[in-house]
Amino acid sequence: KLDPQVYLTAMFTEWEDLDLINGRMHIYFGDDYVGESQLHLDFVKDTLAISLGPDPNVLVRRKRTLREDKVGAFTGKQEFNREYTFTVVNRKQADVTLQVEDQLPLVRTEEISIDRLKLDGAHVHEASGKVVWDLEIKAGEQVERILKYVIQSPRELMVLAD
């Protein structure tokens, strides 16, 4: 939702054997200069992660496929039905492993409820509402994931539904 780009991250294990030191680094990916960054090893544990910038060969699209607001005939509650379809396209010659993240709305009162109708294999971090799909996509493949939920609230409460 915030950024449709896919970012490459290099993950190094056994990085201690490389005799690296803190300082400025110039990052190249293949023959392309990606940019500059600072290497800080003070808080790195077993895996060193270095960002390599956006990857134009992996595309992610988020499209709202359902927006239905109504008042329940029997309950008298407002209902906000939302569905989003995420399409991930791997245009690379190699398989990719990636995470797609979104978020469920957060509720601050017990009068409002969120029913998760479809998570399509995603994991949800309960405290933040973060929804995460761990995907492995083969070269040239396209996959879709769906996030669907309904928010129910009393009519008198104002709800900001996307």
Per-residue pLDDT, 156: 81
Per-residue pLDDT, 162: 67
Per-residue pLDDT, 72: 78
Q: What is the pLDDT along the chain (162 residues), one digit of tens a residue?
A: 677 788 888 888 888 888 888 999 898 877 888 788 888 888 788 888 888 888 889 999 999 999 999 987 777 889 999 999 999 999 999 999 999 999 999 888 889 999 999 999 999 999 899 999 999 999 999 999 999 999 999 988 777 776
Per-residue pLDDT, 28: 84
Per-residue pLDDT, 1: 65
Q: Which residue has the tokens 């399409």?
A: 87
Phi, psi of 123 (to 5 degrees): -100, 145
Per-residue pLDDT, 119: 96
Helices (H) and strands (E) in the chain, counts: 0, 11
Beta-carbon contacts of residue 162 (< 8 Å; ≥ 6 apart):
64, 82, 105
Q: How many CA atoms lie within 13 A of 17 on its CB side?
A: 4
3-class DSSP assignment, residue 102: strand
∠ CA 93-62-53, nearest 5°, is: 50
Per-residue pLDDT, 150: 95
